Amino acid sequence: MFALLLTIFALAIFVGFEIITKVPPTLHTPLMSGANAISGITIVGALIVAGANPSSESFVPGFLGFLAVVFAMINVVGGFGVTHRMLAMFKKKG
């Protein structure tokens, strides 16, 4: 299983390099904030640990999960939001 995950990791890095080298400097800031929003994908893990742990049984993982959901959610909503705002400003002449 681990070897498979490692393969996926390596391949995804190559895909990333291939696509991102084609992003023009004009769009580097939106690229960064957009990529940043995507790194908020860790919210998937946050939701799982938060939901699986009711406070009556195990307070610590549930509360940590809650904090993680808050941070990741700011990252996701804020990240896609500002990226959209920025991209909406890029216009062609005329």
Partner 1 sequence: MEFDSLRNLLYVVAAILFIFGIKGLTHPRTAVRGNLLGLAGMILAMIVTLVDGDLMPGWYWWVGGIVLGGLIGVVAAKRVQMTAMPELVALFNGFGGIASMLVAGAVFHETIAKAAERMGVSGESDRDLTYWMGQVIADAGMGDPVQVYLATVISGIIGGLTFTGSVLAFVKLREWISGRPMTNPMLKAGNVVALVGSAIFGAVLLVRPDAWWAYWALAACALVGGIFFVLPIGGADMPVVISLLNSYSGLAAAATGFVINNTVLIVSGSLVGASGLILTKIMCVAMNRSLTNVLFGVMAEVEEGPSADEVYAGKVTATTPDEVAMLFDGVQRVCVVPGYGMAVAQAQHTVRDLANLLEAQDVEVIYGIHPVAGRMPGHMNVLLAEADVPYDQLKEMDEVNAMMEQVDICLVIGANDVVNPDARTNPTSPIAGMPIINVDQARTVVVVKRSLSPGFAGIPNPLFAAPNTLMMFGDGKKALVELIRAIKEN
Q: What is d(CA 36, CA 38) in angstroms, rounded to the nearest whole number?
A: 5
Nearest approach in angstroms of CB 57 to partner 1 is 8
Asked whether the beta carbons of 75 and 37 are under 8 A apart, the reply is yes
Nearest approach in angstroms of CB 59 to partner 1 is 10
Residues 63 to 82 in contact with partner 1, rule: CB under 8 A: 63-82
3-state DSSP assignment of residue 92: coil
Residues 5 to 64 in contact with partner 1, rule: CB under 8 A: 5, 8-9, 12-17, 19-55, 57-58, 60-64
Number of residues that bind partner 1 (CB under 8 A): 85
Nearest approach in angstroms of CB 81 to partner 1 is 3
Q: Helix-strand-coil percent breakdown of the chain, rounded to 5?
A: 85, 0, 15
